[in-house]
Structure formats: C-alpha cells, structure tokens
Amino acid sequence: MQNVDEFLLHMWQNVAPLVILKSMGGINLSIPKYRDQRAGHSCWARTTSSLFALFARLVPALARADFALNLPTPASGLAQDIYDLHTLILWICFAIVLVVYLPMAIAILKHRKSADHQPAKFHDNLTVEIIWTVIPILILLGMAWPATKLVASMKDTSKSDLTIKVTGYQWKWEYEYLGDDIRFMSNSSTPKEQIDGEQPKGEHYLLEVDRPLVVPAGQKVRLVLTSSDVIHAWWVPAFGVKQDAIPGFIRDTWFKVDQPGTYRGQCAELCGVGHGFMPVVVEVVSPEKFAVWKQEQKALVAAAAANAGKTYQMAELQSLGEKVYTANCAACHQANGVGIPGAFPALSGSKIATGEVAGHIDIILNGKPPTAMAAFGKQLSDLDIAAVVTYERNKWDNKTGDLVQPADVAARRK
C-alpha cells in the first residue's frame, strides 16, 4: 500500500460502515418473526429500521448498499429457525466482544508503558487457565447443540406430502412430480435483449422462468435432486434450502411454506457459462388451486399424446421451433446460429443441419458424448424436436425446405 492515509480513509468510508451495519443488522434480525409477519412489523422493528435509514444517509457507502446485508425474510419454518440461530450466535459473539475484547482494550490502555505502569512479575495461574479452557468449551457446546438440532431437522425428509424430482441440466431445471406423470423443463425467460443491455433490465432480471415449480401451501414438499451433467445446486434463500444436485447421486431436502406467493432463487454451484442463467421460481398456491393445476397438467399431457400422429404446417413448426431453440440451444449455438468458434459449432451452414434429416434428428436425440452437446431425447417431446429441427433446417443460411413431423422423430427413437 503506497499511501497509508488513503488506505485508512478507504477502510473508514467503505468497510467500517458495512461492519457496523452488519452488527446492527444483527440486532434487528431477531425482530421480524415469521409467525408475526402477517401482523406487520413491530414498533421496535420500525424504529430500528428508521434509525438505519438515518444512519445510512450519513454514510455514503451505506446508501449504496440497499440494505441487502441481512438474511432474506424467512418464508418457511426452517428458514425462520436458521434466522433465529444466526441471531443467537451473533448475540453470543457480541457478548464475547464485551466480556473479552473490551477488558483487553482497557487493560492495554491502562497498563501501557508511557503511563509508567509497573508489570506484575508472576507466571502460571492454574485457576485462570482452567477457567479460560472450561468456559469456551461450554460456549462451544452451547452453540453446537442448537446448530446440530437444526441441521438434523433440515435433513429430516420423512412424512412428506409429495415428492418432486429435480434434475439439473446445463442450464435449466427439470421438475418431475413423482407418481403424477407430470414432468417439465423450467427455463430462464429473461429476454436476450435485457441480457445484452439493449433493453432496460426487468424487475426479476435473471430470476424468472417460463414454467415455475408449483407446490401446495402448508404441505411438506420433499425434493430429490440429481443432475444430468455437472454439479448444480437448487437454492431458494427464503426457504432456507440450498442443495447440491450431483450427477450419479440422489440427494434430498424439503420445505414447507404456509404463505402462498412467488419465491425466487437460482443455481448456486458454478456449472459452466450459463450458470447465471438457471433461475429457480417456486409458485406456492393453495391446495385447492394446486389440485386444479395438476388436472390441467394432466390434460396437457393427454392432449400431446392425442396429437402424436398429427402433421403440422411449416409456419407452426417454425414458430414453435424458434421457442424451443431460444430456450434450449441458443446459449451455445447462439441466436444467430453462428455458435462460438472453437467451442460450439455454427448451425448456419452446418453439414449436419443441412445434410440427412435422420442424422440431424439423431444428434439432438442422443447428443454427442463426451462433448457439451447433450442428449435432448428425454428433455424434449417429439413435437419439440421436430419443430427445432425444422427451424434449424430453414433458418439463417439453411434453406433445405425440409418439414420434419413428430412421427419422424418418434421413428428415430430407440
């Protein structure tokens, strides 16, 4: 550091306020109780938060911090317990600061050489040594007890009301309602223009999806998680749930949310270039609405099955194909079909996308291990694949005029 004054000034202006606010946030932490949420915040909470606002105005770094320093408002009982545990530990730390560091600072000040303090000349004091060993052990045990209890309850997925299998893919989530024949992909729905900075960013930028996970309020939902490629992590902060999805393994977790609403999260394990583009959105609805939703999903599946033999027009396939392409393929092959040289091949002018239809369908159904080209056979329906193949064969520089029907795809499935 060439300029110590500048460094100290930086610490004072930018780091110290954050540390102070974080510790004050701890005081505020214990106030907005999950149980009392509907009744609104207490008067105490309002007073402390207006104090913060005043404080923030006095210190420029805080005004910029948007008060995003606390844990999110808990939406599940589990998240509330995590919140309370965090608060408890913070208070214990605070007490230790008062009991240990404050006397230490006073002792250093009082016993300094310049005040001509004469040091005592003893060493070894068994009583003191026993005390300063036993007390910390008791404190640690006191902290380990509630922490262990909470971790055990986070792992307790027994007696769940429904089970949903969650599979991570580069870069989207698949949800499968076990025992209910409902299965769908959930893709980011943030428009490319917002990502590229051509349009202002929306309110839920990168935290919005085409099809959210829908679950009933007040019921214990068990998730079993795995991955089809690399490690992902399913994370919804307000639920207090963050669980790795690991290829070849099954892990489970659970949540129970009483308050209907939309809750958002994202993948929390660096999983490749699209890692920032795989949000999680959970729609918590009343059990009655959930039952209706389930019927609708089943009707959709039945309708798709009934349409299996149907033939589609070019325009229909192209417009559906564009949607499928944008959601599933554009992250690698790019919207303009030129790919990323050296990593993802161009589809515009590609031998496969302009050659035999069968080969084109096959690479999408089966992928090309071990490259990043995944098998989409299980992720996409025959209609989706027919549409995206038709789209790719007639888009950009590709002018094959080929029309691929769902039945053609079904015939290539093994």
Q: How many Å apart are CA 302 and CA 164, to the nearest integer?
A: 20
328 part of the interface to ligand HEC, by CB under 6 A: yes
CB of 351 to ligand HEC, least distance (A): 5
**352 scored as a contact of ligand HEC (CB under 6 A):** yes
| Residue 353 interacts with ligand HEC (CB under 6 A): yes or no | yes
CB of 306 to ligand HEC, least distance (A): 24
**Residue 350 in the binding site for ligand HEC (CB under 6 A):** yes
CB of 272 to ligand HEC, least distance (A): 7
Whose Cβ is closer to ligand HEC: residue 14's or residue 334's?
A: 334
Which of 214, 331, 365, 386 is close enough to bind ligand HEC by CB under 6 A?
A: 331
* Cβ(279)–Cβ(188) below 8 Å: yes
Give yes or no for residue 320 binding ligand HEC (CB under 6 A). Answer: no
Q: Taking CB within 5 to 8 Å according to partner kind, which of Cu ion, ligand HEC, none is near residue 32? A: none
Give the one entry of ligand HEC, Cu ion, none that residue 263 binds, where binding means its C-beta sits below a cut-off of 5 to 8 angstroms depending on kind: none
Buried b (16+ CB within 10 A) or exposed e, 315-325: eebbebbbebb
- The entry of Cu ion, ligand HEC, none near residue 215 (CB within 5 to 8 angstroms by kind) is none
Q: What is the dihedral of CA 117, 122, 126, 132, to 10 degrees?
A: 20
d(CA 329, CA 158): 38
363 binds ligand HEC (CB under 6 A): yes
Question: Taking CB under 6 A as the rule, does residue 170 contact ligand HEC?
Answer: yes
- Strand partners of residue 49: none
How far is residue 225's CA from residue 378's CA, in Å, rounded to a whole number?
17
Distance in Å, CB of 330 to ligand HEC, minimum: 8
If binding is defined by CB under 5 A, does position 280 make contact with Cu ion? no
Contacting residue, 185, 257, 267, 409, with Cu ion by CB under 5 A:
267
**CA–CA–CA angle 184, 188, 189 (5° rounding):** 105
271 forms part of the interface with Cu ion (CB under 5 A): yes
Please say which residue, 353 or 404, places its beta carbon nearer to ligand HEC: 353
38 contacts: CB under 8 Å, gap ≥ 6: 259
Q: Which of 117, 201, 298, 368 binds ligand HEC (CB under 6 A)?
A: 368
Based on CB atoms, which residue is closest to ligand HEC, 368 or 413?
Answer: 368
- Burial label for 112, CB within 10 Å (0-12, 13-18, 19+), is exposed
Give the sign of the dihedral formed by CA 54, CA 60, CA 63, CA 69.
Answer: negative
Pick the piece of the chain touching Cu ion (CB under 5 A) from 99-107, 198-206, 271-279, 317-325.
271-279
256 belongs to the binding site for ligand HEC (CB under 6 A): no
- DSSP 3-state assignment of 174? strand
d(CA 227, CA 169): 6
Q: Is the backbone of residue 187 left (phi > 0), alpha (psi -120 to 50) or beta?
A: beta
Exposed/middle/buried for residue 228 (C-beta within 10 Å: 0-12, 13-18, 19+): middle
When the beta carbons of 89 and 195 are compared against ligand HEC, the nearer one is 195
User: Is 390 one of the binding residues for ligand HEC (CB under 6 A)?
Assistant: no
Q: Per rule CB under 6 A, is residue 149 in the interface with ligand HEC? A: no
Instruction: For the CB of residue 253, give the shortest distance to Cu ion in the complex, in Å.
Output: 16
Shortest CA distance to 61 belongs to which of 27, 11, 1? Answer: 11
Which residue of 62, 75, 280, 332 would you call a contact of ligand HEC, by CB under 6 A? 332
Describe the crossing of helices 43-58 and 16-29 by its angle, rounded to 10 degrees: 170
The answer to whether residues 139 and 94 touch, using CB atoms and an 8 Å cutoff, is no
Residue 81 binds: one of Cu ion, ligand HEC, none (C-beta under 5 to 8 A by kind): none
> Is 209 among the residues that bind ligand HEC (CB under 6 A)?
no
Does 17 help bind ligand HEC (rule: CB under 6 A)? no
Contact 303, 372 (CB under 8 A): no
Tell me which DSSP letter residue 117 carries. Answer: P
Q: CA angle, corner 217, sides to 212 and 221, nearest 5?
A: 75
Binders of Cu ion among residues 196 to 255 (CB under 5 A) are 232
Least CB distance to ligand HEC at residue 161 (A): 34
Which residues here bind Cu ion, judged by CB under 5 A?
Answer: 232, 267, 271, 278
Which residues here bind ligand HEC, judged by CB under 6 A?
Answer: 170, 328-329, 331-333, 344-345, 347, 350-353, 360, 363-364, 368, 371-373, 376, 388, 392
